[in-house]
Amino acid sequence: MPAPLVIFDLDGTLVDTAPDLVASLNHAVMQAGLAPVTYNDLTHLVGHGARAMIERTFALRDVALSASDLDWQMKEFIDFYHGSMPGDSIPYPGVIDAMDRLSSAGLTLAICTNKLEMLAKSLIEGLGLTDRFVTITGGDTFSVRKPDAEHLLSTIRLAGGLPESAVMIGDSLNDILVARNASVRSIAVPFGYSDVPIETLEPDHIIRHFDELNPDLIERLLARH
Ligand SMILES: O=C(O)COP(=O)(O)O
Ligand SMILES: [Mg+2]
């Protein structure tokens, strides 16, 4: 039986990336004449990767976006975001200690995010956290992304784990849905970028702070499987 595997979502779960996402998005869309977006807008824009975030921003402003404009916007967004990493993005309070507790107890850690894999890996590298994760997969790593079960199941396979001994931790609908679709236990956090109260997503468990994340909790959740 492989070691239990704890899989983190990235934006809004492991790292508070909102300031840099908003700044990079505005860097791109303001060049196209759009009014800047705010943190509150972000909860409705983030979740399906950069391309969807740009498309949703144009839709929010009721401005048409051609395929070539989208390519140009993507390049502006990615160059700005990547160029300023890690920027003002910081891991959420207590998450480093929580990862220490899990790793010390022999659990394995991975990341399953809808961010582009390259951006996710650069950010984690910039924060000095790369060595903590056995696998980091992004929205473009496979042909599908969260909430498609295969994104999570493939991440678990790459990490050498098993769905029945894995727990997914996330802040948004896609994270709880992908866990449910893959028959994997889920934990939700309330401090991320969900556009609805996380209780309504019906995760298996909710933690208010990473102080609550420990090997015992993971054991208990997996025992209920
Ligand atoms: O960047 C996004 O759109 C979503 O990223 P996440 O899956 O890490 O929350
Ligand atoms: Mg998230």
Per CATH, the homologous superfamily of domain 18-83 is Putative phosphatase; domain 2 (1.10.150.240)
The pLDDT confidence band at residue 127, using thresholds 50, 70 and 90, is: very high
Q: How many CB atoms lie within 10 A of CB 68?
A: 8
Which residues of the chain does CATH 1.10.150.240 include?
18-83
pLDDT score at 225: 65
Q: Is residue 131 a known part of a binding site?
A: no
What's the gap in Å between 92 CA and the centre of ligand 2? 12
List CB-based neighbours of ion ligand 2 within 5 Å.
9, 11-12, 171-172
**Which residue puts its alpha carbon closest to atom 4 of ligand 1?**
47
- pLDDT at 72 > cutoff 80: yes
Please state the rounded mean pLDDT for residues 179-206. Answer: 97
CATH of region 5-16+90-223: 3.40.50.1000
Nearest to 23 by CA among 82, 91, 92: 82
Considering every ligand atom, which ligand is closest to the CA of 46?
Answer: 1
Considering every ligand atom, which ligand is closest to the CA of 139?
Answer: 1
- Compute, in degrees rounded to 10, the torsion defined by CA atoms 25, 173, 155, 216: 120
Catalytic residues: 9
Please state the rounded mean pLDDT for residues 195-201. Answer: 96
Q: At CB < 8 A and 24+ separation, what contacts does 97-103 make?
A: 97/210, 97/211, 98/210, 98/211, 98/213, 98/214, 99/132, 101/213, 101/214, 101/215, 102/6, 102/213, 102/214, 102/215, 102/218, 103/132
Residue with tokens 């220490």: 100
Which residues of the chain does CATH 3.40.50.1000 include?
5-16+90-223
Q: How many CB atoms lie within 10 A of CB 99?
A: 21
pLDDT per residue over 141-174, tens digit each? Answer: 999 999 999 999 999 999 999 999 999 999 999 9
Please state the rounded mean pLDDT for residues 52-64. Answer: 97
Q: Is residue 11 a known part of a binding site?
A: yes
What's the gap in Å between 46 CA and the centre of ligand 2? 8
Which DSSP category does 212 fall into? G
- Quote the CA–CA distance of 5 and 2 in Å, as a whole number: 8
What's the gap in Å between 186 CA and the centre of ligand 2? 13
The residues lining ligand 1, judged by C-beta closer than 6 Å to any ligand atom, are 9-12, 46-49, 53, 113-115, 172
pLDDT score at 1: 79
pTM over 0.90: yes
Nearest-atom number in ligand 1 for the CA of 172 is 9
pLDDT score at 224: 74
Q: Is the ipTM of this complex over 0.90?
A: yes
